[in-house]
Structure 1
Amino acid sequence: MEPDPPLTLAREATPHGEVVLRRRGAVLELVVDGAFAMDTVDTTTEVRLAEAALTRHQEPERVLVGGLGLGFTARAVLADPRVRRVDVVELAEPLVRWAREGLVPELAGLEGERCRLVADDVAHVLTGAGSPPGPWDVVLLDVDNGPGFLLHPGNAALYERSGLAALRRSLAPGGVGVVWSSHPAPDLLAGLRSVAAPGDEVEETALVVHREGRELTYSLSVLHRAPGTAG
């Protein structure tokens, strides 16, 4: 028997491509510009992205999440009582609007006293050209699949030296920045090392996930800014 076709819940064109939310049985899927972006089959990597940074910081009071996705990274951050403010920056304005409208339970109820949703390009926010202003104790970037498999070619600069330097500058002293990638990314790791200052720490963590009979290796590239450093 053929599986039932997915049910489209919302669809809207944006300057950066079409954004679609759909259900496939109990699974919620996000499709961006015709390409599968993520679903709710396994959300462990979104949670581990948050945990990787939060466990490396003693007082992660202010956090920036680049990429709303289906909301699981933001919820993992909000679950930490030490976090007082979360800024979630999402390029696709319809996704922010659907979250505010409570279109699906997975996205509903995120925005509140501790969490603000912003429709903007996180690259602009990191450079100070967009709102909200930094610095942040923790910055989490999950805006694309990583430098080797981009959904939006315009995101390439975020993974290059200029974008990674902006990431470091957006961190408060002692801050932690983590970049998610759908694959091991040695060039990304090298880029972080090239913008690191003396005393900073840079490392990569592999995330092995078993999904629908396949073993996938994602990665988290981490820059821990040294305490007491300026500039």
Structure 2
Amino acid sequence: MQLAVVGGSSAALVTELRMRGLTVQQLPRGADVLRTHHDYDAVILDLELPDMSGLAALGKLRQVSRIPVVMVGTRTDERTVVRSLRGGADDYLVKPARVTELIVRLQSVIRRLSRDRTPPPNMVVAGDVRVDLAGRRVEVAGRHVPLTPMEFTLLRALVRQPNSAVSRQELLDRVWGNAFPGSTRTLDVHIGTLRSKLDRPGLITTLHGYGYLWSGPDPAAEPKAG
């Protein structure tokens, strides 16, 4: 993995990352990564930079690249974390970051982005529930179940990662984007309505303190009829 560490992260962190087998280049300024981002597989971006804020650098980077970015900073307030994630960061870690956790999160982000780049199947089947992603249509036991656009977008985010935990924050980002509702309670209400319409207990599992999981089998692009 070719990794860029941008900003004031410690030399000790860079040394430890290299000891774990990563190729690491430390870049002092946000402008540096904007010029060279194509040379790296992922970026660790400090919230505080000498030439601009980390959020400003992130915004400029996102205009030209979808490279995985993990933001690091000393701030722990919710507003800073949300602004970082909404601004395009794939994750946020509080400094000083633990190296093992940082590497695991980087690997998780890269896997997720790789999965997202894979063209999704058009049909997802779980028992008698059929979700037509292309036609934006849901059937349960052969009966059409009407969903609002928001409900379908939420369902699509879940079924594209079968049997994989999806965090509340990821769902908020995918479904609402910049129109962040400000409270995860909004998400919980939509999940409750979706469960009620599908009427299949256990299909959408709550992971308390984290998020939700679609418990159906893997999607099949061409499910058999019958």
How does the TM-score come out when normalised to structure 2?
Answer: 0.33
> Larger strand proportion, structure 1 or 2?
1
> Larger helix proportion, structure 1 or 2?
2
How does the TM-score come out when normalised to structure 1?
Answer: 0.32
